[in-house]
């Protein structure tokens, strides 16, 4: 099984295609976005990921990786397309369904179809298999199907694709075995076999666990502000207990997994998934809490009539350009609703993607009354507070990610405010 066709060339599909090509497979990448395909054929990236540019150039130059907007015949088809949620918090599986339909004319007897997208349990059984039955091939004996969800984070995708354990769920034992065989060519971690629905459930469980834990941390942060302690210090001390691992609070939860996947469970079993729904709602409310906190600081504490807010960070996590479900977008949305003037800057995003965005740090901060850190980019930690203060009307900084060196900012004359911390204010 040497020929692989990867459907979807985003944050997961493209690195997956590259790593298979780098391990001797002949890989064809397919995406419906013509601009993306054209860029990749010219060895130009549309996403940011350390090491991706060099790896892309190597496999394209070697001839092991090609790109078009149509699938091709292959031994293995890997589907890595988005599985977003709709406005009413239900799963949109149109991309998975369309991707499956697109490969039907190219599937042959003996082909393997692997879904990597994170999806609600039973998506393989209820969405993909009815489409694949149109091939006329016997599912499980002539056409093999499996789910093997990615378990990586942006910024460390290549490292984690190789190092992390992998879950493989087949619709038959042979499907799981064949899937393990191809991933074993580069995966250094253990590969655990199960059925497709269990594999789907495992991935959603992993991200829901983290979402519930973060919601707990966010509630602790709100409580700590009322009690008069530093929640970051309290969490650090609590985590010295050998069986405690409390996550970190923040202005909300973003990304393509944690902010989305718990809704897959809440949608399927709303009467049972009450804690899951509450946690998701808690985290979804944090951007509003953050925006209201900004308003309270500048209007009530400092009584600034027409304040300017400088937001630092658009991506959902540090040191990447990924804006999917970013809390920053929701903070901005609420600032619009309460009619606050703001600019937003992100050193990892050079192109203009949203209103009020600027591509120069000076333009964002000049004349601002408060700087608000929404993303923990390493670059923000290196800023000179004295230099920043000279650009501003008022020296106020709100650190929602606990990433700035507090002593340096206080020494430069800033009122240093941290989410979840009134002990030091």
Tell me if residue 257 is catalytic. yes
pLDDT on residue 1: 65
- All structural domains of the chain, each given as residue ranges with its CATH number in brackets, are 3-189 (3.40.50.720), 209-418 (3.40.50.720)
Torsional class of 63: left (φ above 0), alpha (ψ -120 to 50), beta (otherwise): left
DSSP per residue over 337-404, as a string? HTT-EEEEE-TT--S--STTEESSHHHHHTT-SEEEE-S--HHHHT--HHHHHHH-SS-EEEESSS-S
Q: Please report the sign of the dihedral spanned by the C-alpha atoms of residue 225, residue 230, residue 236, residue 240.
A: negative
341's tokens: 């003037």
N-terminal to C-terminal alpha carbon distance within the chain: 62
Return the bridge partners of 194, or none: 169
Nearest of 424, 425, 419 to residue 223 by alpha carbon: 419
Q: Please report the sign of the dihedral spanned by the C-alpha atoms of residue 363, residue 368, residue 371, residue 375.
A: negative
Residue 191 near residue 178, CB atoms below 8 Å:
no
pLDDT on residue 153: 84
SS in 3 state form for 161-216? HHHCCEEEEECCHHHHHHHHHHHCCCCCCCEEEEEHHHHHHHHHHHHHHHHHHHHH
400's tokens: 């929602």
Residue 247 near residue 194, CB atoms below 8 Å:
no
Q: CB within 8 A of 86, min separation 6: which ones?
A: 92
Of residues 5, 180, 257, 401, which has the active-site annotation? 257
Residue-level pLDDT, tens digit, the chain, 425 residues: 699 999 999 999 999 999 999 999 999 999 999 999 999 999 999 988 889 999 999 999 999 999 999 999 999 999 999 999 998 999 999 999 999 999 999 999 999 999 999 999 999 999 999 999 999 999 999 999 999 999 888 888 999 999 999 999 999 999 999 999 999 999 999 999 999 999 999 999 999 999 999 999 999 999 999 999 999 999 999 999 999 999 999 999 998 889 999 999 999 999 999 999 999 999 999 999 999 999 999 999 999 999 999 999 999 999 999 999 999 999 999 999 999 999 999 999 999 999 999 999 999 999 999 999 999 999 999 999 999 999 999 999 999 999 999 999 999 999 999 999 999 87
Q: Beta 308-312 vs 341-345: how paired, if at all?
A: parallel
d(CA 144, CA 65): 24
Q: Rg of the Cα trace of the chain?
A: 23
Q: Please report the sign of the dihedral spanned by the C-alpha atoms of residue 178, residue 183, residue 186, residue 188.
A: negative
pLDDT on residue 61: 95
275's tokens: 């804690």
- The total of other beta-carbon atoms located within 10 Å of residue 293's CB is 18
156's tokens: 């460390």
Tell me if residue 203 is catalytic. yes
147's tokens: 């789910």
d(CA 220, CA 223): 5
Nearest of 67, 76, 61 to residue 33 by alpha carbon: 67
CA distances from 121 to 91, 178, 360, 390 (A): 11, 21, 44, 54
pLDDT on residue 233: 98
Residue 283 near residue 218, CB atoms below 8 Å:
yes
Q: In what helix (H) or strand (E) does residue 67 lie, and over which residues does it extend?
A: strand 65-68
DSSP per residue over 33-51, as a string? -HHHHHHHHTT--SS--TT
Of residues 43, 89, 177, 203, which has the active-site annotation? 203
170's tokens: 């087949």
d(CA 173, CA 184): 16
Nearest of 70, 82, 51 to residue 324 by alpha carbon: 82
325 secondary structure, DSSP code: T
């Amino acid at each position: 099984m040497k020929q692989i066709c990867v459907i979807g060339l985003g944050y997961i599909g493209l690195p997956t295609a590259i790593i298979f090509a780098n391990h001797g497979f002949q890989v064809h990448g397919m995406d419906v976005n013509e601009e993306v395909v054209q860029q990749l054929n010219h060895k130009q990236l549309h996403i940011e990921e350390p090491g991706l540019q060099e790896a892309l150039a190597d496999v394209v130059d070697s001839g092991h990786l090609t790109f078009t907007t149509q699938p091709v015949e292959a031994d293995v088809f890997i589907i890595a397309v988005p599985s977003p949620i709709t406005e009413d918090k239900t799963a949109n599986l149109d991309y998975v369904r369309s991707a499956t339909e697109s490969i039907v004319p190219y599937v042959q007897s003996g082909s393997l179809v692997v879904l990597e997208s994170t999806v609600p349990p039973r998506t393989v059984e209820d969405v993909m298999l009815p489409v694949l039955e149109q091939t006329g091939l016997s599912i499980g004996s002539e056409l093999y199907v499996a789910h093997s969800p990615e378990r990586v984070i942006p910024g460390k995708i290549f490292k984690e694709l190789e190092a992390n354990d992998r879950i493989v769920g087949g619709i038959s034992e042979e499907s799981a075995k064949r899937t393990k065989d191809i991933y074993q060519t580069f995966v250094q971690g253990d590969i655990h076999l199960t059925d497709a629905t269990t594999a789907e459930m495992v991935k959603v469980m992993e991200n829901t666990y983290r979402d519930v834990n973060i919601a707990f941390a966010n509630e602790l942060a709100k409580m700590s502000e009322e009690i008069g302690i530093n929640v970051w210090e309290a969490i650090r001390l609590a985590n010295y207990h050998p069986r405690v691992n409390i996550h970190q609070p923040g202005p909300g939860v973003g990304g393509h997994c944690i902010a989305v996947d718990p809704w897959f469970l809440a949608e399927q079993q709303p009467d049972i998934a009450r804690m899951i729904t509450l946690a998701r709602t808690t985290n979804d409310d944090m951007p509003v809490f953050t925006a209201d906190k900004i308003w309270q600081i500048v209007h009530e504490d400092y009584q600034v009539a027409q304040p300017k807010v400088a937001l630092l960070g658009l991506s959902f996590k540090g040191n990447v350009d990924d804006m999917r479900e970013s809390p920053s977008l929701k903070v901005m949305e609420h600032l619009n609703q309460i009619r606050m003037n703001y600019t937003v800057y992100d050193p990892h995003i050079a192109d203009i993607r949203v209103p009020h965005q600027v591509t120069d740090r000076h333009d964002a901060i000049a004349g601002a009354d408060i700087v608000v850190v929404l993303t923990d980019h390493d670059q923000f930690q290196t800023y000179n507070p004295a230099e920043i203060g000279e650009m501003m009307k008022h020296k106020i900084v709100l650190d929602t990610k606990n990433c700035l060196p507090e002593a340096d900012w206080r020494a430069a004359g800033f009122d240093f405010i941290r989410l979840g911390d009134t002990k030091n204010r």
